[in-house]
Structure 1
C-alpha cells in the first residue's frame, strides 16, 4: 500500500517545545514516515503506512501526551458550529446596539424632535413649529 497523509487538529499546545515534543514522539512510532506540527495553525500533518499503524493509534499516542487530537473531518463540523455561534452572537449584539443607537439619536436631536404618546401610539413631533 502507498503511504497515507492525514492532517490532524491539535489542541493544548502552548509553545514551540510542545509542538516539537509531539512531532518527535509521533515520528518515533513504527509505521510513521514523516510528521510536521505547526504551532500557529495547531495542525499536524502525518504521513504513515496504513498497514503498519492506524490513524487512531497516532491520535491515541498524542492524547497520551496530554494534548487533544482530532481528524480534519470532525474539525470541519466543529468549525461550522463555531461559525454559526459567532453569527448568532453578532446578530444579538447588532440588535442590542440598534436600541442604544436609537436612544442616542433621539437624545442628540431632542431639541428638534420630541417623542409623544397620543392614545397609546408613539409619534415623533417636530419642535421647530
Structure 2
C-alpha cells in the first residue's frame, strides 16, 4: 500500500484510510463540528424566540462522521468484507448510541442525541476499521 497523498487523513492508493487513529481523529472532529453547528443554530433560534435552546435533535451531529464512514466504505473493493464490516459496525454503533441516549435521557435532546452520536462514532470506527481489514485479509 502506497500513500495516495500527504495530509490528514492518510490514505492508500485506493483511497482507504490507513490508520484507526486517522479514522477516529477525523470522525471525532466531524462530530465536534456537527455539535457546534447544531448548538449555534439552536442558540440562534432560541435567541429570536422561535424555540427553546436544546430542542434540536443531537443525532444530527452524525452527518459528517457518517459521510467519512461512507467515503471509506466506498474506497474498499466490492465484496463481503466491506458489507459485513459496515453492517456489524453500524449495528453495534446504533446499539451503543441508543444505550447512551437512554442513560442520558434526562438531558435536552441536543445533548442526549449529541452523546449518542459520539458513542456511535467511536464504536463504528473501532469496529469498522479492524473488522474490514481482518475480513479483507481472510477473503481476498
Assess same fold via TM > 0.5. Answer: no
The TM-score with structure 1 as length reference comes to: 0.30
The structure whose residues are more often strand, as a share, is: 1
The TM-score with structure 2 as length reference comes to: 0.28
The structure whose residues are more often helix, as a share, is: 2
Higher-Rg member (1/2)? 1
